[in-house]
Amino acid sequence: MSANTVIHRIVRPAVRVVAPSGVTPNQITTLRVLTGIAAAVAFAGNGPWPAIGGGIFLLSMLLDRADGELARQTGQSSAAGHRYDLFSDCFSNIIAFIGLGLGAGAQPGMLGPLLGLVAGAGIGALFWQLHVLRIGTLRGYEPAPGIIIDPDDLLALVPVLVWIGATAPMLVAAAVITPIAAIWLGLTGTRHARAGQRP
């Protein structure tokens, strides 16, 4: 995963301001977890709460980039901090989809909770494969020189889809795509690993 994506560039000026304050990367990571939980709870609610959850989710994504950016700017990078960052990212994304599923479950005929659980499990499986088993790598897309978009950045579409009322189709797509991606990575990644190369 790149450390110079569009979202990294967005948070970089704010991180420069915060860096001299003594705030640590792990404190920002903890705030990322708390905002991730808050977003999931809001997504599960009724009325205006899912829309509010979208805003909180975006803030949580910015914090996810800010902790690593702060660690690099202040020389506080560590293996333990990196692991904590990965855990918080995985956990926050999983519970966001579970929250979305619970919120969508109020719609008649919508299997929201099940779809949210399946999508969350798919996300968790992908994180496990990429960051623990290390059977694959994520490559960013560079639409223009110096502009990098990581696959993880596409989660910024989640609040947009919530705001336009497309939560249900998003859940269906996520519940189909993430498990298929995890199965595909498991099959191809294991085969490449045996051959001594990354997919």
Let me know if residue 108 belongs to a domain. yes
pTM: 0.86
Integer Cα distance of 197 and 199 in angstroms: 7
| Contacts for 103 with CB less than 8 Å, ≥ 6 apart | 43, 44, 45, 46, 49, 50, 112, 167
**What per-residue confidence (pLDDT) applies to 141?**
72
Let me know if residue 199 belongs to a domain. no
**What per-residue confidence (pLDDT) applies to 180?**
95
Let me know if residue 86 belongs to a domain. yes
- Token pair, residue 44, equals 């599960």
Q: What is the CATH number of the domain that holds 166?
A: 1.20.120.1760
**What per-residue confidence (pLDDT) applies to 111?**
85
Closest by CA position to 158, among listed 179, 147, 173: 173
Query: What are the residue ranges in the chain where pLDDT is below 70?
Result: 1-3, 106-110, 138, 140, 190-199
| Count of domains forming the chain | 1
**What per-residue confidence (pLDDT) applies to 45?**
94
**What per-residue confidence (pLDDT) applies to 138?**
67
Let me know if residue 137 belongs to a domain. yes
Integer Cα distance of 69 and 71 in angstroms: 5
Residue 53 φ/ψ, nearest 5 degrees:
-60, -35
Tokens 């998003």 correspond to what residue? 170
Domain of residue 107: give its range: 6-194
Cross-strand bridge partners of residue 148: 5
**What per-residue confidence (pLDDT) applies to 9?**
83
Q: 147 in the Ramachandran plot: left (φ > 0), alpha (ψ -120 to 50) or beta? A: beta
**What per-residue confidence (pLDDT) applies to 1?**
57
Let me know if residue 70 belongs to a domain. yes
Residue type, 120: G
Rg of the chain over Cα atoms, rounded to whole angstroms, equals: 17
**What per-residue confidence (pLDDT) applies to 109?**
64
Let me know if residue 1 belongs to a domain. no
Let me know if residue 104 belongs to a domain. yes
| E-strand stretches of the chain | 141-144, 147-149
Closest by CA position to 38, among listed 77, 95, 78, 110: 95
